[in-house]
Amino acid sequence: MDVAANALLAAGASPAMVHSLREVPEFTPRCDAVCVNVGTLSEGWLPSMRAAASAGRPWVLDPVAAGASEFRMEACLSLLALRPAVVRGNASEILALASRSLAAAASGADSTHDSGDALQDAKALARSTGAVIAVSGAVDYVTDGERVVGVSNGVAMMQKITATGCAATALIAAFLAVVEEPSDVMAVAACALAVFGLAGEIGMESGAKGPASLRMHLIDALYCLDEQTVTSRVKISLHS
Ligand SMILES: Nc1ncnc2c1ncn2[C@@H]1O[C@H](COP(=O)(O)OP(=O)(O)O)[C@@H](O)[C@H]1O
Ligand SMILES: Cc1ncsc1CCOP(=O)(O)O
Ligand SMILES: [Mg+2]
């Protein structure tokens, strides 16, 4: 929550981290977009997540460790049925969701697959759910089930900071807040991931020595990004 909220603030959004079922009906109608992240899932929080997802706002799902337990899988599948605009997960999470089965290899919140391994499953999941699916990794793939966009920004060290995936998903929600056309959702998800990856690149160039200093520099880079840097450095390509 710390990394995600600070990334959102640095990018110019206005985050609020909300769990209580009593608060969700008051909070969500005022939100321009909602991010539901099952990272620290509990029985008590799941009804809040379902309520937030059902509030009629555009929303994004982060299926953290979806394949790690029956409870997470069932929770993620029940949230998927509430029609997220975007699902952003790492390759292992998207593979687990697409097959609706627990990961064969024991895995927690980190991926044991490359994003390319999950591309066909991501397309199938997009077609079956109607959501845009974003699989993160060295290349982030974003698909609506037919078209595929690849985003090549980012540095490998981002995997060594916990919650970079959570922050990337939260940034997609922030970008979703300004979408006017449903057909723009895929482009918006790709742009958010490109901007986040670019902030990681600039953070690394700013003297990061490891995960802790990259975390600081990445958030600073997000805060300092300007249009010229973004337009000259984003690496987004259309795949066949
Ligand atoms: N090998 C890599 N090279 C460049 N960027 C990466 C790499 N792996 C992950 N990223 C970036 O790190 C962020 C988090 O992705 P990821 O580690 O896949 O998510 P999660 O934290 O949910 O496992 C994304 O912005 C992604 O593009
Ligand atoms: C380590 C951990 N455990 C529960 S949530 C979480 C963070 C996951 O964040 P990310 O998917 O961005 O690495
Ligand atoms: Mg994650």
**Residue-by-residue DSSP string for 87-116:** EEEEHHHHHHHHHTS--SS---SS-SS-GG
Residue at token pair 């482009």: 187
H-assigned helices in 62-184: 70-80, 91-99, 119-129, 164-176
Which SS3 state, helix, strand or coil, does residue 197 take? helix
**CA separation for the pair 214, 199 (Å, rounded):** 10
- Residues whose CB falls within 8 Å of the CB of residue 66, separated by 6 or more in sequence, listed in order: 38, 72, 73, 76, 89, 93, 96, 97
Q: Is 221 in the pocket of ligand 1 (CB under 6 A)?
A: no
Dihedral over Cα of 82, 87, 89, 94: its sign: positive
Give the chain's length.
240
What is the total count of domains within the chain? 1
Domain extent at residue 231: 2-239
| Residue 188 and residue 179 in contact, taking contact as beta carbons nearer than 8 Å | yes
Comparing 34-43, 80-89, 106-115, 221-230, the range with the smallest average pLDDT is 106-115
Which ligand lies nearest to the CA atom of residue 63 in the structure? 3
Per-residue confidence (pLDDT) for residue 182, from 0 to 100: 80
Best mutation site among 112, 166, 169, 172 for ligand 2, i.e. most ligand atoms within 8 A of its Cβ?
Answer: 166
Average pLDDT, the chain: 96
**CA separation for the pair 34, 140 (Å, rounded):** 21
Q: Is 63 in the pocket of ligand 1 (CB under 6 A)?
A: no
**CA separation for the pair 199, 176 (Å, rounded):** 19
Q: Tell whether pTM > 0.90.
A: yes
Tokens of 196: 């986040």
Q: CATH no. for residue 134?
A: 3.40.1190.20
Is the pLDDT confidence value at 13 over 70? yes
Tokens of 203: 């953070």
Residue nearest to atom 5 of ligand 2 (CA): 39
Is the pLDDT confidence value at 170 over 70? yes
Task: Compute the distance from residue 111 Cα to the ligand 3 centre, in Å.
Answer: 8
Per-residue confidence (pLDDT) for residue 236, from 0 to 100: 98
Mean pLDDT for the stretch of residues 164-171? 98
Ligand 2 binding residues, C-beta < 6 A: 39-40, 64, 109, 162-166
Residue 44 φ/ψ, nearest 5 degrees: -70, -35
Is the pLDDT confidence value at 104 over 70? no
* Residue 62 alpha carbon, nearest atom of ligand 2: 11
Query: In the Cβ-directed half-sphere of 142, how many Cα atoms lie within 13 Å?
Result: 25
How confident is residue 181, by pLDDT bands cut at 50, 70 and 90? Answer: confident
Is the pLDDT confidence value at 209 over 90? yes
Residue nearest to atom 15 of ligand 1 (CA): 165
Task: Compute the distance from residue 166 Cα to the ligand 2 centre, in Å.
Answer: 7
Mean pLDDT for the stretch of residues 151-176? 98
- Note whether ipTM > 0.90 here: yes
How confident is residue 14, by pLDDT bands cut at 50, 70 and 90? Answer: very high
Mean pLDDT for the stretch of residues 106-129? 93
Per-residue confidence (pLDDT) for residue 105, from 0 to 100: 62
How confident is residue 4, by pLDDT bands cut at 50, 70 and 90? Answer: very high
Mean pLDDT for the stretch of residues 53-64? 97
Task: Indicate the angle between helix axes 185-205 and 164-176, nearest 10 degrees.
Answer: 140
Mean pLDDT for the stretch of residues 74-101? 97
Task: Compute the distance from residue 196 Cα to the ligand 2 centre, in Å.
Answer: 17
Burial class (CB in 10 A: 0-12, 13-18, 19+), 37: buried
Residue nearest to atom 8 of ligand 2 (CA): 163
Q: Is 197 in the pocket of ligand 1 (CB under 6 A)?
A: yes
Could you list the beta-strand ranges (E) of the chain.
34-37, 59-62, 86-90, 132-136, 140-143, 148-151, 236-239
